[in-house]
Amino acid sequence: MPSFSAITFLGALAIFMYGIRISRTGVQLLAGERLRSLIGSLTEHRFMALITGVLITMLLQSSTATIIMLVGFASSGALLLTQAMGVMLGADIGTTLVVILLSIKGIADYALLILIAGVMIEIFSRKKKTRYVSMVFLGFGFVFFGMQLMVRATSPLQGNPLLTEIFAALGQYPAYAFFGAAVFTALVQNSATTLGLTIACAFSGILGIHDAIPMVLGANVGGCVPALLYSIGGKASARRVAFAHFFLKSFGALVAMGLLPYFTDLIEILSKQLIPSGTTPAPQIALAHMTFNVCLSLFFLPWIRQGAWFIEKLVPEPNRPEDKPFGHQYLDPRSLETPALAFSNARREIFRMAEIAQEMLASTIAVFENDDRELMRSIEEQDDKVDLLDKEIKFYLAKISQEGLNPDQARMQLNLLTITCGLEEIGDIITKNVLELAEKKILKARHFSEEGWKEIVDIHAKVLENFQLMVSTLAMEDKTIVRKAARHEHHLALLEDKYREAHLQRLHKGLKETIETSSIHLDLLANFRRINTKLTDIVTAATRGINGAE
């Protein structure tokens, strides 16, 4: 009989963990921004949030990955706690798919066929998306192959006296098995690894269902630790999501541990109804994992609002100093490993930058009307904020690895950079050109003619309207706004020509105010037109980003 090999066992475990990692990466690259859109489109309907969590976790093969995404979205303000709690309950159910597959006897025999398919797809693929499919195949192949190797590596341990004593002690003190599984899962940062290892031991005949259930419960709690660590130092909204997941799992696991004999009896009763007789305890382990998470979801789903209120009381908003220096709010560096999260954060920061630039433009008309130098300084200070956000957003986007982006995401990255540059250029036009004209008007004590001032106010109002249109594109992601912005650009060009002609006619009449403010008037019209052109470019880039995400 072959002896146990620690190297073989650790190698099998490494292959198994690598398979989970590579398949998850392939799914993320293949899905692109669809995962972000799916989560971002959530409503307050708790059942839809539950279904969304199930679907996303079935794709990612890890509830931990889903919860970390939720933490990132909550940190950026794109997700409410009540929505996140519905998704996390679904994620806990979705993660049972891989465990169920691992528990099916003989499925690992197809591991090499899956690996061959993955390699063939990789060899003959010409498109990146096809290569992402090969990553998914290779990942699943490695998972099942690693599982098969773990079963073979642990088979010689069957009947080992030392191991028999250890499991006897764990059976007598199930809390040790619970905490041991929780710690191990926290270290490997994936509950599927712990559950896969437990199922492998069950296939080898060295672990029974009574010993395995505390490990299943511990693995569920330990899987919450990566999201908790991820949320440390983040906003209260992010920490609430991570803590809510930990609280739900811990509460459920402790209740199950307190009622362990009854829970074990329930699994055995369900096993007799659902699982063919004579099989190993492996399917029972998967059933225990699924039963625990389904019961947890059914119990907490009706109480999501009350639960969110309770979590908000436990994790309150920190007291923030009023003199905190201006800076970014949403550019979480921990989200850089997940492009969907990073782009969502960047878009929210760009939206904030656009609101500041819009306020700058809105204030310029009052500077000309009231010769207000104090307001000029205020606008210049706002431009400093725009410049700061411009640098921080560009630096943040540049840190997203090009190698980890699919073509749609690479276009999204370029479009977001284009939008950021456009907003920064608008800020420069306002401070370096428009305000310079205002300073010239104040120094020379000039006044526009009544007709000329009406023209300036009118064209400023139309540019401001187009600015709001651009901001709406960033917020609403409405492709139809592009055509509307193009029409406005055309109409504004015609309006500028009309007002230039009217100004020239007033010059021919020799109106004093028109002659004194001629250069200021014409340059102001031209600069407002330049701003509007930049706005149209931004709307186009924003919509290209939307198309790239589809």
Per-residue pLDDT at 477: 59
pLDDT confidence of residue 421: 92
Alpha carbon distance 483, 520 (integer Å):
32
488, 466 contact by CB (below 8 A): yes
How far apart are the C-alpha atoms of 390 and 383, rounded to whole Å? 10
Query: What backbone phi and psi angles, to 5 degrees, belong to 95?
Result: -70, -15
Residue range(s) of every CATH 1.20.58.220 domain in the chain: 333-549
Written in H, E and C, the secondary structure of 197-249 is: HHHHHHHHCCCCHHHHHHHHHHHHHHCCHHHHHHHCCCCHHHHHHHHHHHHHH
Q: Are 25 and 409 in contact (CB under 8 A)?
A: no
pLDDT at residue 295, rounded to an integer: 92
Residue 108: count of CB within 10 angstroms of its CB = 23
| CATH label, 333-549, candidates 1.20.58.220, 3.10.20.30, 1.20.120.10, 3.40.630.30 | 1.20.58.220
Got the DSSP string for 331-383? --GGGTTSHHHHHHHHHHHHHHHHHHHHHHHHHHHHHHHHT-HHHHHHHHHHH
CB contact at 8 A, 285 and 195: yes
Residue 483: how many other CB atoms lie within 10 Å:
11
pLDDT of residue 319: 61
pLDDT of residue 402: 56
Which residue, 525, 535, 477, is CA-closest to 354? 535
Q: What is residue 78's predicted lDDT score, i.e. its pLDDT?
A: 62
| Residue 133 pLDDT | 83
SS3 per-residue string spanning 476-528: HCCCHHHHHHHHHHHHHHHHHHHHHHHHHHHHHCCCHHHHHCHHHHHHHHHHH
The rounded distance, in Å, linking the Cα atoms of 4 and 154 is 7
Q: Please tell me whether the overall predicted TM-score, pTM, comes out greater than 0.85 for this model.
A: no
**Which H/E stretch holds residue 323?**
none
385 to 353, 355, 368, 415, 534: CA distances (angstroms): 8, 11, 23, 21, 19
Please identify which residue in the block is written with the tokens 């020799």.
510
pLDDT averaged per 10 residues in sequence order, the chain, 550 residues: 72 82 73 59 67 77 73 70 84 80 70 86 78 83 80 68 64 84 84 82 80 90 85 80 91 93 90 74 88 91 88 78 68 76 84 91 90 89 92 88 69 88 93 90 84 88 86 70 74 82 79 78 88 86 55
Sign, CA dihedral 293-299-304-306, equals negative
